[in-house]
Amino acid sequence: MPVTVIPKTGVNAAGEPASSLTDVEGVFDTAFNATAAVAATVTAETARAEAAEAALAAAVTVGSTFTFSQAAPASTWTIVHNLGRYPAVSVVDSANTQVEGDVTYVSANEITVAFASGFSGEAYLN
């Protein structure tokens, strides 16, 4: 049984049959360079998206709350909450009566609350 050999024919950048190996190599080089450019763009965009996601996670802690218990009576409470933001603060004494105090935001992770007199109770940060 005879075997028919069909030669492979490449195409050049214009889509015409390649007249030489150089034409075919040129097509492959163009395709490789385009693929490399797309991969570089995807890598850069992925890195940018990951950086934006990390920044958002650091800036906003959605739904996180912190409860601080002050067991010993004190007129100034130092509260390290590690929420990474400046939360609203509500304070109650040991009888569960709301108490007003002067809140100072030391950082995004720490506050102090100063009161007219010392007492024990809890602070709720949200």
Looking at the structure, tell me whether residues 112 and 73 fall in a common domain: yes
Segments in the chain below pLDDT 70: 1-13, 15, 17-32, 34, 52-62
Whether residues 70 and 55 fall in one domain: no
Residue 102 and residue 48 share a domain? no
pLDDT in tens, 103-122: 999 999 999 999 999 999 99
d(CA 78, CA 107): 12
Domain that holds residue 29: 1-59
* 53 and 77 in a common domain: no
Q: What is the pLDDT of residue 46?
A: 76
pLDDT of residue 83: 96
Do 47 and 86 sit in the same domain of this protein?
no
pLDDT of residue 48: 80
Same domain, residue pair 71 and 55? no
Residues 115 and 85 in one domain: yes
Please report the pLDDT score of residue 116 as a whole number. 97
Q: Is 10 left (phi over 0), alpha (psi -120 to 50) or beta?
A: beta
As given in the structure block, the two tokens for residue 32 are 């490789």
Question: Does residue 84 share a domain with residue 50?
Answer: no
Looking at the structure, tell me whether residues 53 and 31 fall in a common domain. yes
Predicted confidence at residue 28, as pLDDT, reads 59
The count of structural domains within the chain is 2
Q: Concatenate the DSSP letters of all residues of 8-39 into one string.
A: ---B-TTSSBPSSHHHHHHHHHHHHHHHHHHH
Residue 53 shares a structural domain with residue 1: yes
pLDDT of residue 115: 98
Identify the DSSP state of 85. Answer: S
